[in-house]
Every structure is written in structure tokens, then in C-alpha cells.
Chain A
Amino acid sequence: MISGSLTDEQLMEQTARTRPVRLLPEANVVKVGGQSFIDRGRAAVFPLIDEIVANLDRHKMIVGTGAGTRARHAYSVGLDLGMPTGVLSVLGTFVSMQNARMLHYLLAKHGIPFIEPAQFAQLPLYLSERRAVVFFGMPPYTFWQQNPAVGRIPPHRTDTGAFLVSEVFAARSMIFVKDEDGLYTADPKKDRNARFIPRATVSEIEAMDLDDVVVERAVLELLKNAEHRRSIQVINGLKPGMLTRALNGEHVGTVITADDAS
């Protein structure tokens, strides 16, 4: 390792020989959608907050937030003005941070903190003491956000950020709370013939070549390589009890798995 090349695939294979440690195996990562959920306001958010609180006794939760319509507005203005992807990433971060702060204040009376990336060292303490934390879903790539292959929109947004948190801590589950039951063959808001897909592997989704999918495509890409996080679930948080059932390990939405996950 000291003298070898870190671009040498044979050497790289050796680096996965040690057994990885699962850092926070009891924690669940719950990502609350921006446009799909928080932008709906009180009608959607308050019941979900109640459900999160009701689950604190049984489940530890790392709650991440999406950005939503204000990010879309910022991206629109930014694209028109020629902003590079890295700057759009900064703008998206600000919006998901606003949403994280609002969820945090709604959970404040339960002593649940909001943490920024620099405060993740305190995450284990907060989970032990208060059972949950709120973080903003955007990965902290800012100006170092990679360009997408097509267009300008940052490819690694809040779904990706939450997914990577669940991967690095080897969390118990990764639950995406959206306003649809899960994955469909098309956007169910625009196509009433869209068919629901309860379970799919990454390869199956890629083979369908869908114009739209319910999570960021980068999540599917990362799922292929992830060491701990071998499946995710997308659920409809507008339906009461779904989050609770998903936290209990039930299959209530769409489960997407890596190809070799059992």
C-alpha cells in the first residue's frame, strides 16, 4: 500500500479483504422528499413528524431532507445566468438546509438536533441520547460536484447524500419518503397508465430504460458498488403508518436492490 499504485486494480482488490466494521448498524436513514413532501406543507409534514416521534422508542433515525421547488427555481435562474454545476450544487445545499432547519424546529421539543456535515462526529452521541438527528440531504460537494453527462443539474443531490450516509455508517435501512407508493413505469403524476413496480434490481431498472425514476439515478449507480447498503425502499409518506411499517422492516413501497443482494 505504501509503495503500490492506487490505480492498480489488483492492489485495489486486496484493500477489500479485511472485514468492514458496521459503524451504526441500528440506525435507519430516512430521507424526506423536498418537492414531493416538505413543499406540501403542514398537511403532509405534521403527520410524518408525529410518526417519527412515535417511533423514537423503537427506532434510531438519521433524518435527511430534500430540496424541492426552491432548488428548482434556483437552478432555473442559475442555468439562465450560466452558473456551473458546482455553483448549482451550493444553491441546492442552501435549500435542503432550509428544509432541514424546519424539520429540526418541528422536532426541537423532543431534543432532536440538526447537524451539518462538520458535526457528524457527534452523530453517535445524539443517536444514543435523543434517538434521532436531522441533516440536510445534499452531499457537501459544493464546487466539487461532478458535472452530469447531460445538462447542468448536479447529479448527486439529496437522495444520493442520504444514501451515502446510510452506506458509510452501515445503517440498518435506507427509506426514501416520497408522495408516491414507489417506482412506476412512468411518472404517475403525468401518466395514468403508469404501472407500479413493487420490487426491482438495479439491472432490471436499467433494462427498462425509464424516462423517469423515483430516486436519483446516481443512487442506482452507487447501489452497484455499495458495500453495506444493498437495498433501499421508497415509500409513500402521505399514507399514515407507512414509515412505521418500513422501519419495522416491512415491504410497503418499492424495494430496489443491488443485483447480487438476496
Chain B
Amino acid sequence: MSEAADGRHHVASFLMRESLVDKDVLRSTETPVVRMLPSAHVVKVGGRSILDAGRGVVYPLVEVLGKLLGEHKLIIGTGGGARTRHVFSVGLDLGMPTGVLAQLAAADALGNAHILGTLLAPYGVVAIPPEMFGHLLPLFVHAVPGVIFNGVPPYSLWEHPPGVGRIPPHRTDAGCFLLAECFGCSTLTLVKDVDGLYERDPKLEPNAAFIREIGAAELERRNLPTLPFDRVLLKLLANARLLRRFQIVNGHRPELLAAALNGEHAGTIVHA
């Protein structure tokens, strides 16, 4: 330790005395990153699109997930679905700020994680409480075929105010993306109730053109009225170092998930 002439006690390091806001300093920190869990696949199972759709949709998907767990290590995140929408609308009516809405939403996705965890329990998959999930993830991934967590990133009261409206921008798609990026996972697949990305919402406009593959910057430029995933993913993808693409597949045709994990193009791929 050194007590510099500036009156601050420093620990010697290449960032000592530096401002971490300085542009040159930041450029000097561009270094290679290790992949913690390079063979694991992150699968986000939609709340409203899959779990809320009930047995007819969920059971066939669970069967496919069960088979895949024999071949791949899976990290499964869940969305909050209709209950999250409901708590958002009540919370908004009561004047709750964005950070409180984010805190509330974590509970619904956790409920869905427990539902999916119950169905996948015969395959040895466990739903992990969010408090310990990140730190113990490597242990779980090596010890069991797969883990389930609520896809919610732990932003809670610290959620960012969005540019428009008051809905938390970092929802469960973003939570799964950030996790896959930090742990250097092999793939991220978003399991939804559409074949992928369309020029317009295909539920409202059945003739909407399908987009098979697209770059994040191009998609940002097109500024489509709706997207089948959290809009913030486009920004996250732009800065991603390890996870350079994700794929959206239709969970109502669960065999597509198997294809996606085997590296096939089975829905829409969005790349950096």
C-alpha cells in the first residue's frame, strides 16, 4: 500500500489513481474473457407464451426437455407471464415506480420456475433460489443435468427507468441473456409461441413477413412496432463478448428446441 502525495491510500495496480470514467483508461481494459460454462445451454421458457398456455403446450415441451437433459447441460429460465402483467397493471395504478415493479415481477417468474421444476424433477432438474443461483451455478451444472431459475435479473429496486413508460426494461429474456453472456454459455434459445421474428406481430397480421436471421443493429434500425423478446436485448447483444447470437424457436413445436440446441437454424437467429 502506498500513501500518495494526493492524500489517498492506494493499492498498487494499473488502475491506481485512475478515473474509471476516463475513455483511455477504459480502452486499456479490453482483454480476453474466460468462459466459465462453455458447454451449458441457456433456455428461456416463456411465461405467457408457454407456461400460461397449459398442459397441451407444456407437457410436450417438458418431454423434449427431458430428452435433451440426457445430452446437454441445460440452464432453464422462466418468464412471469400473465401474473406479471397483472401485478404491473395493479402496481402502475397504485403509482409504483419501475424499481418496485421489477421487484414484484421476480415472484411470478419464480412461481413458474417452481412449476417447471416440479415437472422436470423426474429428470433430476432442480429449481434454485435466486439468492444462491449465480454463485453456485458451476457446481449445479456439474452435479445435475440441468437447473431452473427465474429468468429475472436481480435488478429489483435498482432497475433502470425506461425511456418510455414505467415497465421494467430488463425482464426475463434479458436475465437469461446476461447470465449466458457472463458464464460464456454455448447458446441462448428463447422458447416462445411464434416461429420467430416477423415484420409485424403475426398474431395480429397473419401475412406478416418472417425474418429468418438478422443483425441487432439492423433490427434496431427497422424499429419494428413489437418484438417477441425484450427490446433491451438488442443493446445487450451489441456489447456482448461471448454470446454473439440467440435464437427464437416455437415451443408449440418442441422438436425445434432440440434442433436449435444441436446447432441447427430452427427459428429466427438474431446476431450481434
CA of A222 to CA of B171, assembled, Å: 17
A168:B29 contact, CB within 8 angstroms: no
A86-B160 Cα distance, complex, nearest whole Å:
17
Inter-chain contact A76/B15, CB cutoff 8 Å: yes
- Chain B residues engaging chain A, CB cutoff 8 angstroms: 6-24, 26-34, 36, 82, 85-86, 88-89, 92-100, 131, 134, 153-167, 170-171, 175, 178-179, 181-184, 201, 225-231, 236, 238-242
Cβ-defined contact, B165 with A72, below 8 A: no
B contact face: mostly helix, strand, loop, or mixed: loop
Query: Contact: B7 with A72, CB < 8 Å?
Result: no
Select one of B82, B100, B178, B227 contacting A143, CB under 8 A. Answer: B178
Q: How many A-B residue pairs have CB under 8 A?
A: 234
A168 touches B88 (CB 8 A): no
Q: Which residue of chain B has its CB nearest to the CB of A23? A: B97
Using a CB–CB cutoff of 8 Å, the interface residues on chain A facing chain B are 1-3, 5-16, 18-21, 23, 35-36, 39-41, 43-44, 69-70, 72-73, 75-77, 79-87, 117-118, 120, 139-153, 157, 161, 164-165, 167-170, 179, 187, 189, 211-217, 222, 224-228
Task: Check if A139 sits within 8 Å of B158, measured CB to CB.
Answer: yes
**Are A12 and B154 closer than 8 Å at their CB atoms?**
no
Using Cβ atoms and an 8 Å threshold, which residues of chain A touch B98? 168, 227
Across the interface, do A84 and B21 meet the contact criterion of CB distance under 8 Å?
A: no
Least distance between A187 CB and chain B CB atoms (Å):
6
Known contacts A7-B230, A140-B154, A140-B158: A84-B34 contact under CB 8 Å? yes
A19 to B93, CA, bound (A): 8
For the residues of A in contact with B, the DSSP-based class is: loop
Whether the Cβ atoms of B97 and A153 lie closer than 8 Å is no
B165 and A16 contact, CB distance less than 8 A = yes
A23 to B88, CA, bound (A): 17
A64 vs B170: C-alpha distance in the bound complex, in angstroms?
24
Chain A residues contacting B153 (CB-CB under 8 Å) are 141, 144
Q: Identify B31's interface contact among A7, A8, A87, A152, CB under 8 A.
A: A152
Cβ contacts under 8 Å, A20 to chain B: 95-97, 166
Contact A12 B164 (CB under 8 A): yes
Contact A44 to B97, CB < 8 A, known contacts A143-B179, A147-B240: no
